[in-house]
Each structure stands twice: as C-alpha cells, then as structure tokens.
Amino acid sequence: MSRPVRFNIHPKQPDIHDNIALAEMPDGLNGEGYFATNLEKVVALGRKNSLWPLPFATSCCGIEFMATAAANYDLARFGAERMAFTPRQCDLLMVMGTIAKKMAPIVKEVYLQMAEPRWVMAVGACASSGGIFDTYSVLQGIDQVVPVDVYVPGCPPRPEAILDGFMRIQDLVGKESLRRRNSEHYKALMGSYDIQ
C-alpha cells in the first residue's frame, strides 16, 4: 500500500503575491503541508512565468530590445529567455519599430499563426502610433491590424521601459481568466480585426 506524497515545507506565512496558498495539515504531520489552489491559478502561474516572445523588430527599437535581452538587463530573469522566430511556438508578439503599410499583412499573418492564448506588446512610438512618420506609407499603430495588450512608450524606449512593459504583460497573463478567450467580448474584438 503506497502513502500519498507530501511536500516538506517550512512553516511560514504565504506571501500575499503568491497565487498558491499553503494550507494547514492536521496535527501529527509535523511540518508537512499541501498546496490548496484552483486550476485557473496554477495555469496562470505557469503561463505568466514562461512566456515565449517572438521579437518582430524593424528598426531602432530592436536594438534597445537586444540590450534588454543581453546580460546587463537579462530578460531571462522573467522566464523569457527562449526567443523564437517561429510563430507557432510563441505566445507573445513584441512588435518593435516602424511598420510600413506593406508590412501590415505580414504582422497580421504572424499573429494568426501564433497559438492561443497570445498577447501583443507594441514597443516604441512607431509601433504604437506611427511615431514621427506621419506619412502615406507608415502604419499609424499596429492596433489597426492586431489587438495590442501593452504599449511601451519611447523613441526608442530604454530597456527599463521594455522590462516594465514585459512585467505588465505578466500581470495581465497572471490575472486573465481561462474563459476570457471564449467570451463574447473577446470574439467581437477578434471579429473587428477579421480574425476568427
């Protein structure tokens, strides 16, 4: 007959920022405990701390992103060290730099190839609003072709700003309901971009 597996945990107060709370075990188990939570919090915790970014860099904001991923700022501290340039394996699209109108269908196609759930971060003034390039050939914000979750201001933004935007994405991912993607509001939003 096998015994149930228990975690050996030093007694302490759970952190208020933890998604998993330590539950008390009955007397006689001396320092052993178990975790009490729900599936939604566990999934959110896993997603939040293992985002796989797809950098879509076209100009100077891409250089700032390279600095963010390098040793001084180290994006890997947040569980995002696996940069992938294949959309089917990524869940965070980071668009950095000027997007020409000819490039807009490509950005949308890359977004559609990503697996759900997926998030988008517009890094810098050009990706957010067209920046200083208010011309016939430049897309005035990628939110015209894909839904954007977080905007990072700056021209170009410093690596600290990109890290702040990434942490805001993590907060969003950690609090997002598993049922959000099936909601009528979300389906209407995708329909407004002609995305099914």
90 known ligand binder = no
- Of the chain, the end-to-end C-alpha distance in Å amounts to 51
Write b or e for each residue in 59-95: b if 16 or more Cβ atoms lie within 10 A of its Cβ, otherwise e.
bebbebbeebbeeebebeebebeeeeeebeebbbbbb
Q: For the chain, how big is the Rg over CA atoms in Å?
A: 20
Strand ranges, E, within 9-69? 21-23, 32-36, 53-57
Which single residue is written with the structure tokens 């517009």?
A: 122
Q: What is the dihedral of CA 175, 181, 184, 187, to 10 degrees?
A: 130
Alpha-carbon distance of 54 to 59, in angstroms, equals 15
Q: Which residues are annotated as a binding site for [4Fe-4S] cluster?
A: 60-61, 126, 155
Residues making up the binding site: 60-61, 126, 155
